[in-house]
Amino acid sequence: MQKNNLDQTFGNQEVSNKEREQLIRRVFTKVAPRYDLMNDAMSFGIHRLWKRKLVKLAKPQGSQLIVDLAGGTGDVAIKLATENNLVLLADPSLAMLKEGIKRHNISCIATTGEQLALANNSVDTITIAFGVRNMTQMEKGLEEIWRVLKPDGRILCLEFSTPHRWLRPFYNLYSYYIIPRLGAWIARQPEAYTYLIESIRRFPDQEEMKKTMEQLGFSDVHYHNLSFGIACIHIGTKRGNR
């Protein structure tokens, strides 16, 4: 699928959410075996530092239930695990979960962000790294996260964002021209990484994402820019119940 077709697919309001979901699932099925390798190549390994920061801010503690949503191969989930807590790796892609099970001894659940297979008020912390932009309905996914969090539970969302103005021309050049070629070379799926770049381009900037989370009921919403805004960790807390 060419870039203009991807752009048309994700920009066309007449395309059903089901069609978008199927396309996204195909993308991640294709890239699952080389997903972590490709992330290392795309970010020069910096994504690992970003994820460590996410885990540090999550402050995993004993007796907590922590869900790493859209957790893919489990590289974040395994870092969240302590001796006394329960970490659940959640992802809609069976191919990604299978890769995670190969690498880590961790509990898994196949579920979409828009329809979480979890009880109301049952989760202490939800982390999601580079996954919220792949939801077909991000607002619905955030509402589901709010539903399953316990009162005073937190969401920590690591996502690509809008870099500082001086960096944008270089970042755009790299993302539009270099990353798809890396996808062709390493992951052997240039179309998949063209999609990923399109999804990054369409994602809200830092302030827009903050406003969306506040409008959906999260309190104490704030964010931490990483690498001059290339990535960002958005944090929100559930206060009470609707």
Cα–Cα distance measured from residue 24 to residue 36, given in angstroms and rounded to the nearest whole number: 17
For residue 5, give the H/E element and its range: helix 3-11
Domain spans, the chain: 3-238
Class of domain 3-238: alpha beta
Taking only the tens of pLDDT, the chain with its 242 residues reads 333 444 444 444 445 667 767 767 777 777 777 777 778 877 888 999 999 999 999 999 999 999 999 998 999 999 999 989 999 999 998 988 998 898 888 899 999 999 999 999 999 999 999 999 888 899 999 999 999 999 999 999 999 999 999 999 999 898 888 877 776 676 666 666 677 778 888 899 999 999 999 999 999 999 999 999 999 999 999 997 75
Q: Which residues contact 22 (CB under 8 A, 6 or more apart)?
A: none
What's this model's pTM, rounded to 2 decimal places?
0.87
Cα–Cα distance measured from residue 5 to residue 14, given in angstroms and rounded to the nearest whole number: 14
Residue type, 237: T
184 half-sphere exposure, CB direction, 13 A CA radius: 9
Q: Which residues contact 70 (CB under 8 A, 6 or more apart)?
A: 90, 91, 92, 113, 128, 129, 130, 131, 132, 134
